[in-house]
Structure 1
Amino acid sequence: MRLDQLKYPIGKADIPKNITKKNIEEWISLIERFPQELEFLTRGLSENQLDTPYRENGWTIRQVVHHCYDSHQNSYIRFKWALTEEKPVIKAYNEKLWAELHDSKSMPIFLSIDALKALHSKWVYLLKGLTQDELNKSFIHPAENKEVGLKENIGIYAWHCRHHYHHIEQLMIRKGWQ
């Protein structure tokens, strides 16, 4: 398998310019299902399997699961900032360094999966209640030096869920763990 296929098993995020109500509904549904699907996918993995990288020089399954919580928690806060401030400049974080912290490398994954369940329940509740005016709000991402709309960010995080789910699933298929 080529490196780009291992890094991006579903391709890079491709968010349409014209985001429809149907897009948003589908993306929210995906975000809503993700914690349970991730739990189901990883439920039978051993500690050794959890500590297997999904690609050479990549994160382990354990790190991927903890990264999902870290990333989604940051995104949820970014939504709150965008809804309560005018185009706030959000705080970026170094996801690679966060994934190298001892908790990401050794903590049981059920802690992040349980946290994802609670977080996604709150996040989906928030997203489903947004008005069109609220959906049109945005924030500034300093690391990317660009304005990110909330509609676009819903799509980015639906992609992010699928992206990391497939990292784990593809490794499990390659290793014959399914």
Structure 2
Amino acid sequence: MYPTSDLLRYPIGRAQLPEGPLAPTERAVLIQQIAELPAQLLATAQAVGGAGLERPYRPGGWNGRQVIHHVADSHLNAYCRVRLALTEENPTIRPYDEQAWTELPDVAATPITVSLTLIEALHTRWATLLHHLSADQWQRTFYHPGTERDFTLDQALAMYAWHGQHHLAHLKLLLSAA
């Protein structure tokens, strides 16, 4: 039923963060991924269907419902982190326990359409903001105490574009697991 290996956990591979500034064309591709993710998640969720979204994408992994709600939670935090980096000097962001968030009662009780709508609105705002950043603004940073390192906004863009595609791939695994 499930393919074996690390491909289930990281079906598109692990995130690769840029060492230095991204080229404007690289940024444009990643921003486009942010902008297109809501429609891709919706289409994939519809293809998987209600019962399919209750299955985990891998043994011990989250189910499709949890994945969709997690993307909303994670990207809402990411959007706030970008805004903090743009308005404060190297702010320390607040990490959160992703697993604990997926176990909160609203995840099981809230229809995924609520999170899909949130992701659509959020990504519209986020992509608009990202399209308007100057070259200098892309090098602004925030500090993540969980990883004990600073991230530039270029790196955050690469991370969250990857994150969306990573979880989209998890949902697509549900199509082949039926």
Fold in common (TM above 0.5): yes
Q: CA deviation at 1:44?
A: 4.2
TM-score of the aligned structures, taking structure 2 as reference length:
0.94
CA contact (8 A) 2:31 2:157 kept: yes
Q: Secondary structure at the match of 1:23?
A: helix
1:67 alignment partner in structure 2: 70
**Aligned residue-pair number:** 175
Q: Which moved more, 1:67-76 or 1:18-27?
A: 18-27
CA distance in 1, matches of 2:131, 2:49: 36
Q: Matched residues, percent identical?
A: 37
Equivalent in 149, 156, 161 of residue 159 of structure 2: 156
Contact 2:15 2:159 in 1 (8 A): yes
Match of residue 8 from structure 1 = 10
1:110 to 96, 108, 113: 113
Which of 1 and 2 has higher RCO (CA within 8 Å, sep 6+)?
2
Consecutive unaligned residues of structure 2, counting only runs of 5 or more, are none
Per-residue CA deviations over 1:23-71 (Å, capped at 9, x if unaligned) read 1100000000000111011124443211100011110000000000000
Confirm or deny that 1:126 pairs with 2:129: yes
Runs (4+) of structure 1 exceeding 4 A deviation are none
Shift of 1:103: 1.3
Taking the aligned partners of 2:63 and 2:107, their CA distance within structure 1 comes to 9
DSSP 3-state at the match of 2:143:
strand
TM-score, normalized by length of structure 1? 0.94
**Structure 1 residue runs without a partner (length 5+):** none
Q: 53, 60, 85: which one pairs with 2:88?
A: 85
